[in-house]
Amino acid sequence: MLCRTANELYWMARHIERAENTARILDVTYRTSLLPYEVREPGMAWAEPWSVPLITSGQAKAYYQRYPELSADNVLKYMILDASNPSSIFCCLRAARESARSVRGAITSEMYEDLNSAWFEMRGYDYSRIDGTGVSDFLDWVKMRSHLFRGVTFGTMLRDEAYHFIRLGTHIERADNTARILDTKYHILLPSADDVGGAVDYYQWQSLLTSVSGFESYRKIYSDVITPHRVAELLVLRDDMPRSLHSCMNFIFETLELLCDEHSRELSRQAGELHARLHYARTDEMIEFGLHEYLIDFLERVSALGDEVSRVFLVPTD
């Protein structure tokens, strides 16, 4: 497969997944903002719920250059529709569609048509329409389009290299995003000490779990109260939970084993190492190390893995 094609497919998948995860982060923020909360450092703008989507996507600085104030409307506008924000849902869908268009021969026509129609629908949205029909409605639409695209991909595509690069992009992006969503609890969701284990804490964990489609699974597995320890276990270490870090690394590791050859041993080693860290980790150790620190370390490693994928397959320097 052409390196350029592999690059476009990989980024097409990443952008779709990013659109979905931006929708998920906005969704958890929206739910949280409806709950009573106390911030860690009252009066600090960054500690408000609506700063979470900006911090997790690394867009806080760029946001304040465009909007002087933090408000739900502004953050939603910026994260959904702003063409100057590369993480906005608008930009992610546009980039995914442009990638698909430039390599449309490498994907099935069903995939292209699905993405193309998603893009045309996206272009029909403006803020008053989103606000009018309900933010959650729109965010659900984004998630459904991402599910639909993944389903079309899964159901129509030959299991060739193109498929593997799409799968690689999806899971690298998802690993990154799950880690970021989980880390939001560190930034903002800490209730006052009195509330630990109380109603507010419960609803906050619930909304976080819901945003990664993990609430029902949590109930099934633990049938017990929500504790940070178990949430961390579910979203980091359990490999039967499709958005967990461990599960993402399973896919990444498997896919790279298929793609790598004798020229790319280092990449395969790096993936194996990161996979093993999750595969053989213990929840206690992770909590002891500090969940926030653990997630930051993981994000750095995933990012390095992404760079190596790029260097080996996508943009080789010859």
Beta carbon nearer to another protein, 103 or 179: 103
Q: How far apart are CA 143 and CA 149, in angstroms?
A: 10
Binding track over 238-277 against another protein, x by CB under 8 A: ---------------------x-x-x--------------
The answer to whether residues 268 and 256 touch, using CB atoms and an 8 Å cutoff, is yes
- Out of 104, 277, 279, 301, which residue is the one contacting another protein (CB under 8 A)? 104
The answer to whether residues 170 and 14 touch, using CB atoms and an 8 Å cutoff, is yes
In angstroms, what is the C-alpha Rg of the chain? 20
Residues 161-180 that bind another protein (CB under 8 A): 161, 165
| Tokens read off for 155 | 């159901």
Residue with tokens 């965010």: 139
Q: How far apart are CA 188 and CA 194, in angstroms?
A: 16
Residue 179 CB, shortest distance to another protein, in Å, is: 27
Residue 104 CB, shortest distance to another protein, in Å, is: 5
- The closest of 38, 26, 24, 30 to 189, measured between CA atoms, is 38
Q: Looking at 22-30, 33-41, 95-103, 142-150, which segment touches another protein (CB under 8 A)?
A: 95-103
- Out of 1, 60, 70, 157, which residue is the one contacting another protein (CB under 8 A)? 1
- Out of 5, 88, 177, 184, which residue is the one contacting another protein (CB under 8 A)? 5
Residues 107-146 that bind another protein (CB under 8 A): 109, 112-113, 116-117, 120
Question: Each residue of 234-267: b (16+ CB within 10 Å) or e?
Answer: bbbbbeebbbbbbbbbbbbbbbbeebbeeebeeb
- The closest of 187, 228, 221 to 206, measured between CA atoms, is 228
Binding track over 201-220 against another protein, x by CB under 8 A: --------------------
Residue 100 CB, shortest distance to another protein, in Å, is: 9
Residue 237 DSSP symbol: I
Chain positions contacting another protein, by CB under 8 A: 1-6, 98, 101-105, 109, 112-113, 116-117, 120, 161, 165, 259, 261, 263, 313, 316, 318
